[in-house]
Structure 1
Amino acid sequence: MTAPTPWQELKAALAGTIPAERLIDDPLRTLAYGTDASFYRLIPRLVVRPENEEELRLTLAECRSRGLPVTFRAAGTSLSGQAVTDSVLVQLGRGWRDHEILDEGRGIRLQPGVIGARANALLAPFGRKIGPDPASIASCMIGGIAANNASGMCCGTAQNSYRTVRDIRVILADGSLLDTAVGESVAAFRRSHGGLVEGLESLSAETRANTALAEKIRHKYRLKNTTGYALNSLVDFTDGIEILKHLMIGSEGTLGFISAITYDTVVDESYKAAALTFFPDMATTCRATIALKQVPVSAVELMDRAALRSVQDKPGMPEVLKTLPEGAAALLIDVRGNDAVELEARMQAVQATLEGIQTLEPVAFTRDADAYARYWKIRKGLFPAVGAVRETGTTVIIEDVAFPVERLDAGVLALTETFHRHGYHEAILFGHALEGNLHFVFPQGFEKPGEVKRYQALMDEVAQLVGVEYGGSLKAEHGTGRNMAPYVELEWGPEAYDLMWRIKALFDPGNLLNPEVILSRNPTLHLENLKPLPAADPIVDKCIECGFCEHVCPSRDLTLTPRQRIVIAREMARLEAMGEALSSQEAARLDTLRRDYRYAGDETCAADGLCATQCPVGINTGDLVREMRRERHAGKADVARRVGRHFSGVTRMARGALNIAGAARLVFGDRLTSRASGGARRLSRGRLPQWTPALPRAAPIRVLRRSATGGVARDKVVYLPSCATRVFGADHHDRGESRSVMEITLSLLDKAGYEVILPEMIGHLCCGMAFQSKGQFDEARHKARELNRELLVASQNGRYPVLSDTSPCTLQMQEHLDERLTLMEPVAFAHDHLLPRLSITPLDERIAVHVTCSSTRMGLADRFVALAKACARDVVVPAEITCCGFAGDKGFNTPELNASALEGLAEQVAGCSAGYSNSRTCEIGLSQHGGIPYRSILSLLDRASQGR
């Protein structure tokens, strides 16, 4: 019998306290959860998901007793390999997302699992924000922002975590807890850890006494610098607690775990403008940057010609990009103010500063919110955009350096020559020029002979050039990680490097916290454990695993995210490509991945497409999943065809089933009916759907048997009730709305003065989405063609608009039907066409709104909220509730997806009279988990309006 491994022993020891579902060691999830945005891959032996400090301290104690290294992971958007391990990975879950607003927004206390953009949303009502503003702020978490001292476009060095941390709550390697905001905690820590505190104070005194070293440290931190530990804490502070607090910033999980951080917030100037300014060459661009250093600008982002070329074909970009000369470059200049007068003055200051500097186009600022956002979206997407055009099988490297700004032009030239000399002609350059901080991005293969040596030669020369010759930073803001650990001593010198090792020994004498990150004795660490990116499917081959998609995925807390689905798909493709060369162990692993992917990758994927809205290159992982479903369900094409050909009968059967379920509920009540349904589902091994108390009554299809409105000539609209609204009627428990969506829609259209045209054979029509989502593409196309024909007839070849009462169906039709048709979604139609025709009296109610994934993809979120606010006094939009996860019928067949996606909804909508959305199936799940009835947004408009 094989003896258990130390990690198996650890799992057994933790199992008495931490539930088994949060102790993960299967091949699929360890690979998926162990992957970050860097080009390194290590597979953890055990993933632990503690939900509180006690569970984390227990994990550290058990690891310490076995000598097992531990790595902490937040969002995994880190680029330098600081969040990967082949030992124990501690992954943050829902238990780490609390916050507290302090001092009317002047401070905010955040747990490490809070996403950066969420923190700013919480502070927005106070006109404040956190100082750090990394490009990944919509995805990365506070734990990573603080542990990497991430900065970004606008924060420079004055507003990063090091400069804006007020207090910190940290758990050290020995399990001890320190909260610097609590006097009793500080006093207790001084007693229990006097040696650590005195050791830090001694290092501070020694460093300040070494004049040359102290001056070197001060010089290094005039720049953005995340190479090594925050040695500036030793010269900025003399108190051991303050030194410890600031050393934790940028320590990348190697000194302790940040369980909460309190930031001093900064003013979020609400008046904003940006100018994309073009210069004839890089030298002129750098001179302009140096000049702008003296002007009150918020950010100056540099982009070279190659970077501009990578985005010039994106929608909304200026046509001039395609005609720029080869050596040209651009600055994205951001100016902000507290009011219009201040903004105008600052724009004029920029204009005056650049007056004597040659530009290719006149400097022109835009205040238009859409154009402003588009400029910044393009800038933030440059790194992934390069990844999208790389050769399949290669990775993408981003090097993150900083020069003293007064030497920026010479440094850029020298660095560019270095890249070209080593054959990296595809590299693009961009960055936060105001701080001398530049990113070089280039594709890199490691499979071909000589590529690793070429990369090593490049890195050796870059390190010497930037870190020694120019006195710059090898890692300005992305963290040292594994990528630069072998070069820390070269940049800092032996004295400073020795200080770092002494700091590490004080905090973590066993070297168990994220070893080989920041400090390493291995000179080739950066060349080891390189991540393979094999071809898997053209749909996803351009993914660089950045993780921007993860925070909107409804299955992110249940199984896998889009990034993780791609990771597993690539690994299966890699193993499959080995063919007969597969060992028996690898073959068994492939079988396990295939088996487990069925549930984790497929069954729990909502295929909602939200990932594409966040992906800089527009990858919709749902398309990959649907393609896999097509291959797996190829044998069910005949069944799909029969359902499609008899669709009217199928929907009649569904209404009949609802009537039977309603009768059972009346007889047995919600609780017994739910228990009976759960039992039947278990006996059927998940084949039978789960009954839910929110299951509505059957829709009264007879309301569609109506003749055209006579009398006065009216504008006409074709009304297409979706199959969902033809099946699902009103909620049994909703006392405020007993009408079906069809009844509400017809009432509202009549009130607004429209003549309604109903397509022929309406009971048989379907947009095809129900078939496409299951991979039955042939039948989906057939139903779309069928619908297309009928809508063209009803609308007189597009003369009249077509209103669908369900948002996801509208999106499906817009993507697949004839361009002559004007296809209107309920929110867009209500906002743009119904509101002007109605007299609105806002309801004196607090209501909730759920913006569906399809509405988000169609860019309707703002109009959705505006429509709701026109109709009700108080509108709540729950935070971090993206797709509801009901996904057609998954709310019945995979109810845990719906439950996971909507966890926390009930607390956020407490006190609301009702919720409103624009998809009947979504509303079922929302009602179930929100604790309030959810209705069509058209119901809200109908209740708040009178005809004119």
Structure 2
Amino acid sequence: MGRPDAAAVAEALSRGDCGEVAGDAGRRAQYSADASNYRQIPLAVVFPRERQHVLNALAVCRRLGVPVTSRGAGTSTSGQAVGSGVVLDFSRGFNRLLALDPEARTATVQPGIVLDDLQTAAAGHGLLFGPDPSTHSRCTVGGMIGNNACGTHSVAWGRTADNVVELEVVTYRGTVVRLGAMTRAEIDEAVAAGGDRGRLIASLHRLAQNNMATLRTELGRFPRQVSGYGLEHLLPEHRFDLAKAFVGSEGTLAVILSATVRLITPPPARALVVLGFRDACAAAEAVPALLGHRLLALEGLDQALTDIVTRPETRAAIDTLPAARAWLFAELGGTTEELPRSARALTDTAEQAAGFVGSEIVTDTARARRLWRIREDGAGLATRLPDGSEAWPGWEDAAVPPERLGSYLRGFTGLLERHRLRGAVYGHFGEGCLHVRINFDFTTGQGTAVFRAFLTEAAELIAAHGGSLSGEHGDGQARSELLPVMYGPQVIAMFEEFKHIWDPDNGLNPGMIVHPLPLDGNLRVSPHRTPLPLATVLPFHADDGDFAKATRRCVGVGKCRTAAHRGDVMCPSYRVTLDEKDSTRGRARLLYEMTQGEVITDGWRSTEVRDALDLCLSCKGCSVDCPVGVDVATYKSEFLHHHYKGRIRPASHYTMGWLPLLSRPAARMPRLVNALTGSRLAPLVKRLGGIAAEREVPRFAAQTFLSWFRTRTPGGDGHRGPVVLWVDSFNNHFSPEVLKASVAVLEDAGFRVRVPDGTQCCGLTWITTGQLGVARRIARRTVTALAPAVRAGTPVVGLEPSCTAALRSDLPELLDGDADARALAGSTVTLAELLVHRAPDWRPPRVDARSISQTHCHQHATSGFGADSALLDAMGVDNDSLDSGCCGLAGNFGFERGHYEVSVAAGEQVLLPAVRAASHDTVVLADGFSCRTQIAQGTDRRGTHLAELIARALPSRRPGA
């Protein structure tokens, strides 16, 4: 009997009570890759919610003869989270904290729990889980167990294996076993009891007894030796600990049902010491001496990695580091009294190292967080080199004993040079573990051959240094084939027997560790697949005009799957649904598969892609928050343009997409329009317009700003010269008081305010709805109208952040090659940027007030809040910038039918509760029209634009002035 097809497998799983089951093309495409170079299309994806769902799914797969791959967050870099059978995703529903015992300092969890969620629960008792990989905000504990994850602080707190107490697992054949350390009496008792559990333990004990010498001499030689299976834990001196031996098995032995882990008490305070060196090799050679100090972490970064950083606040933190070409980030723990002495002693030791060039003790905690963020984002940042070329994992995390790190790194650098390859090196220098992404060329047969040759030689180099192919990310498909280079035949045979004892049917993650898949098979990018010929409207210059290359920017590190707000906007819809399809990664994966034409076969007409993009808010958060700059908002515009070309569009594309144009006749009869949208006919109007029934339609102002401005007499002396005030459609028609306030502020600061001739528009609403032909015509008219002022050096001031961002970033893309469009982008500033940078001697009015501020997501993506913060500080405002992400309304998104619940839920995560909790004398700052609308419709408060806050305090506005 042949292997069943996807439909048959999905149907059998659905009938088998396995939880949520998906076998559609879209879902299979989303789960076709992890964070590695590899790609396998699964037959189905299962989302278990309870223990019985897992047992039932295994039973169905066993009956059908279909392999099973366990998956957490899908951030594995070696290919062990993708498979050709059924994928069990534990992160969505099988993710609970089952117990936490502060006295015993243990926690019991389901495998899908995210590490940060466990850490939050433990922190309430003054505890934490020691291993902390850089993906801590989305990786699952089950995935950490699968790979034996380590993280930044493993030099102090060990690997996952060192912190696991007990596991409950189920084999492919359905045997449930509880694993932990066992005494000889407990082993004898289990064997005597018989049954599947007794036979399993007997076989494992016999394997250990028959290989004592090999276990003692070949395995567990240094902490980061995690390649292969951790069979050294079966030794009697390690208490025959089956739980620890299971850690690092990459889903090949059994499926985890629950895990009990050890928690630790962190030190009361920490300090970051940055040590600069002339190059990464010098930094590596300094490590052994530094390890004599009691370190919590010792991480290395090469300048090649920091050169990739573009985020303004992070870039500023880098630019003040000690001048060097490589750095070690050393973290110390202790009391506040001890730390200065410890830091000084550490720098004294570092100063003795050859190649040391400087140090800094970072006392500013906010700056320290920004610096650590570079290290956390390393896996994503390193995938694009400074010249824009792609870089890939493959030789991702090899490790050597720390005393050999310098020698290994010099040999590795020479190996790169011989193969004419490049890569940014970083990693856990304190434990001899290096991470690197390398610019392999998978688009040609020659490039793929170089990939195989390089990995083979790199394995030989690591073996010569007594190292491990993997230091924490596991072997997977990337390195399992190379294990015989590191281990002799006896060890390989022992690994094969260990796997067979657990999984004689080879039903769990076949091809990993033993009987491996070829390291150059199943490649995500392959010269043997020809992408669909998909021409684009937008140029995608950063990706050589190649839409497939743009979408494969997503390397799967999964930062977009972070559920908590940490100063990022990405990804608002995922934070609401917690569904892979609504993440930046899920959408990028689907778009990439669309370009390949294998699973998603209908190109731009794909309904699977359309549906996955439906909940994208076009917030642009991913364009800056994603370490690789995946820009789904732009991809969505491009896709919608082609998808609906020559077809009837959704009603909202004709109403809200054309809002700037429709607003003009409405502005001539605002009372009539407002009466209609507020009458009993409003539900019909909204239904016909594709507007959510729950949304209140904003009211048109009695007079537009342009009507008011063109009849007024200019004020002020204008000694600073002219500025062009960009009159956006939203403020012009709905909140002209914002533009009026800006005129007062600009004139008080000494500027002469002008407005564009006629009625101009940035085209934003047409861009977000994918009507790029219309958007381009509007953009060209706008650029032409503003060109004379821009050529004369006149700045263009934007009040609405989404429109300002469009002028800066979208118009140059729409009008690719247009010099005036590029000049306009460079001339466009926010109000705060103009006042802070171009009127530095102007003294803003004093405003002794407290405020909370919502940064518009497009401003977050393009200019940030730095100038606003500086201006508020100069005014004396005690401002709290909310880590709220997108407000949830996001232009047309929150008004469209079918989006209301997600829109409100996004706002309810941080923004709306914060506004409700604010005292009535706290100003709620929100420059975005969407943000103010969401606040007004979700609370009893009103948002205030920065221009309004300043204008109210100007001397001319004060009573009696």
Q: Tell me if TM exceeds 0.5.
A: yes
Contact 1:402 1:438 in 2 (8 A): yes
> How many angstroms apart in 2 are the aligned matches of 1:922 and 1:270?
38
- Residue matched to 2:285: 287
> How is 1:274-673 mapped onto 2 (pairs within 5 angstroms)?
274-279=273-278, 282=281, 284-303=282-301, 315-316=315-316, 330-338=326-334, 340-359=336-355, 361-369=357-365, 372-373=368-369, 375-389=371-385, 396-421=393-418, 423-446=419-442, 448-467=444-463, 469-518=464-513, 520-522=514-516, 525-532=518-525, 538-540=541-543, 541=549, 543=553, 545-551=555-561, 552-556=570-574, 557=579, 559-574=581-596, 590-591=601-602, 594-597=605-608, 599-600=610-611, 602-630=613-641, 647-649=663-665, 659-664=675-680, 673=683
> How many angstroms apart in 2 are the aligned matches of 1:429 and 1:510?
40
Q: C-alpha offsets along residues 261-290 of structure 1, whole Å, 9 cap, x if unaligned?
A: 6551452665433424113683x4433111
Unaligned runs of 5+ in 2: 181-185, 535-539, 544-548, 562-569, 812-823, 919-923
- Residue matched to 1:581: none
> How many angstroms apart in 1 are the aligned matches of 2:85 and 2:496?
22
| Cα distance, 1:436 vs structure 2 | 1.2
Q: C-alpha offsets along residues 626-648 of structure 1, whole Å, 9 cap, x if unaligned?
A: 23445566779999999766652
> How many angstroms apart in 2 are the aligned matches of 1:630 and 1:26?
25
Select between 704-713 and 91-100 the one with higher mean Cα deviation. Answer: 704-713
> How many angstroms apart in 2 are the aligned matches of 1:38 and 1:609?
25
* Aligned-partner residue type, residue 830 of structure 2: L
Contact 1:37 1:76 in 2 (8 A): yes
| Cα distance, 1:481 vs structure 2 | 1.0
Contact 1:884 1:898 in 2 (8 A): no
Q: C-alpha offsets along residues 836-873 of structure 1, whole Å, 9 cap, x if unaligned?
A: 7334379xxxxx986542353343399899999x9999
SS at the partner of 1:527? coil
Q: C-alpha offsets along residues 223-260 of structure 1, whole Å, 9 cap, x if unaligned?
A: 213212232432378777x6236624554464213556
Contact 1:190 1:197 in 2 (8 A): yes
- Residue matched to 1:88: 86
- TM-score of the aligned structures, taking structure 2 as reference length: 0.74
Contact 2:692 2:899 in 1 (8 A): no
Contact 1:227 1:480 in 2 (8 A): yes
Residues 841, 403 of structure 1: CA spacing in aligned structure 2 closer, same or farther, 3 A cutoff?
closer
Residues 861, 713 of structure 1: CA spacing in aligned structure 2 closer, same or farther, 3 A cutoff?
closer
Residues 498, 864 of structure 1: CA spacing in aligned structure 2 closer, same or farther, 3 A cutoff?
farther
Contact 1:291 1:353 in 2 (8 A): yes
* Aligned-partner residue type, residue 81 of structure 1: G
Contact 2:28 2:45 in 1 (8 A): yes
Q: C-alpha offsets along residues 408-455 of structure 1, whole Å, 9 cap, x if unaligned?
A: 33333444444545x244355433221111234322234544555544
| Cα distance, 1:384 vs structure 2 | 4.2
- Residue matched to 1:133: 132
Residues 60, 874 of structure 1: CA spacing in aligned structure 2 closer, same or farther, 3 A cutoff?
farther
Q: C-alpha offsets along residues 136-179 of structure 1, whole Å, 9 cap, x if unaligned?
A: 33443443233212222332373332223355565554556678
* Aligned-partner residue type, residue 838 of structure 1: V
> How many angstroms apart in 1 are the aligned matches of 2:58 and 2:332?
45
Contact 1:255 1:504 in 2 (8 A): no
- Residue matched to 2:256: 257
> How many angstroms apart in 1 are the aligned matches of 2:871 and 2:190?
52
Q: C-alpha offsets along residues 635-693 of structure 1, whole Å, 9 cap, x if unaligned?
A: 79999999766652256689866643432289xxxxxx5xx789x57xxxxxx414332
SS at the partner of 2:56? helix
| Cα distance, 1:194 vs structure 2 | 6.2
- Residue matched to 1:207: 208
* Aligned-partner residue type, residue 465 of structure 2: Y
Contact 1:876 1:909 in 2 (8 A): no
Q: C-alpha offsets along residues 182-208 of structure 1, whole Å, 9 cap, x if unaligned?
A: xxxx99999999643674477358637
- Residue matched to 1:216: 217
| Cα distance, 1:292 vs structure 2 | 0.7
Aligned pairs, number: 876
SS at the partner of 1:838? coil
> How many angstroms apart in 1 are the aligned matches of 2:195 and 2:853?
53
1:808 corresponds to which of 802, 805, 810 = 802
Q: C-alpha offsets along residues 460-498 of structure 1, whole Å, 9 cap, x if unaligned?
A: 34334423x333211101111122222335534455444
SS at the partner of 2:227? coil
2:776 corresponds to which of 775, 778, 784 = 778
* Aligned-partner residue type, residue 823 of structure 1: T
Residues 863, 821 of structure 1: CA spacing in aligned structure 2 closer, same or farther, 3 A cutoff?
closer
| Cα distance, 1:752 vs structure 2 | 14
* Aligned-partner residue type, residue 508 of structure 1: D
1:893 corresponds to which of 874, 892, 896 = 896
Residues 630, 333 of structure 1: CA spacing in aligned structure 2 closer, same or farther, 3 A cutoff?
same
Residues 201, 436 of structure 1: CA spacing in aligned structure 2 closer, same or farther, 3 A cutoff?
farther
* Aligned-partner residue type, residue 776 of structure 2: D
Contact 1:167 1:263 in 2 (8 A): no
> How many angstroms apart in 1 are the aligned matches of 2:274 and 2:406?
21
The answer to whether structure 1 residue 856 and structure 2 residue 860 are counterparts is yes
The answer to whether structure 1 residue 230 and structure 2 residue 227 are counterparts is no
- Residue matched to 1:670: none
Residues 924, 826 of structure 1: CA spacing in aligned structure 2 closer, same or farther, 3 A cutoff?
farther
* Aligned-partner residue type, residue 402 of structure 1: A
Contact 1:280 1:358 in 2 (8 A): no
* Aligned-partner residue type, residue 348 of structure 2: A
Q: C-alpha offsets along residues 106-126 of structure 1, whole Å, 9 cap, x if unaligned?
A: 666655445445555666677
> How many angstroms apart in 2 are the aligned matches of 1:451 and 1:175?
43
> How is 1:100-139 mapped onto 2 (pairs within 5 angstroms)?
102=100, 111-117=110-116, 120=119, 129-139=128-138
Residues 527, 442 of structure 1: CA spacing in aligned structure 2 closer, same or farther, 3 A cutoff?
same
SS at the partner of 2:59? helix
SS at the partner of 1:532? coil
Contact 1:41 1:84 in 2 (8 A): yes
> How many angstroms apart in 1 are the aligned matches of 2:257 and 2:948?
47
Identity %: 22
Select between 628-637 and 332-341 the one with higher mean Cα deviation. Answer: 628-637
Contact 2:248 2:474 in 1 (8 A): no
Contact 1:302 1:431 in 2 (8 A): yes
Residues 720, 572 of structure 1: CA spacing in aligned structure 2 closer, same or farther, 3 A cutoff?
closer
* Aligned-partner residue type, residue 264 of structure 1: L
- Residue matched to 1:732: none
| Cα distance, 1:66 vs structure 2 | 1.6
Residues 718, 357 of structure 1: CA spacing in aligned structure 2 closer, same or farther, 3 A cutoff?
same
| Cα distance, 1:884 vs structure 2 | 5.2
Residues 398, 211 of structure 1: CA spacing in aligned structure 2 closer, same or farther, 3 A cutoff?
closer
Contact 1:426 1:443 in 2 (8 A): yes
> How is 1:132-281 mapped onto 2 (pairs within 5 angstroms)?
132-156=131-155, 158-166=157-165, 168=167, 170=169, 172-174=171-173, 195-196=196-197, 199-200=200-201, 203=204, 207=208, 211-216=212-217, 219-220=220-221, 222-235=222-235, 243-244=242-243, 247-248=246-247, 251-252=250-251, 254-258=253-257, 262=261, 264-267=263-266, 270-279=269-278
Unaligned runs of 5+ in 1: 576-585, 667-672, 682-687, 729-740, 843-847
Q: C-alpha offsets along residues 302-352 of structure 1, whole Å, 9 cap, x if unaligned?
A: 45676677779994487899998xxxx633232334555433222211221
- Residue matched to 1:60: 58
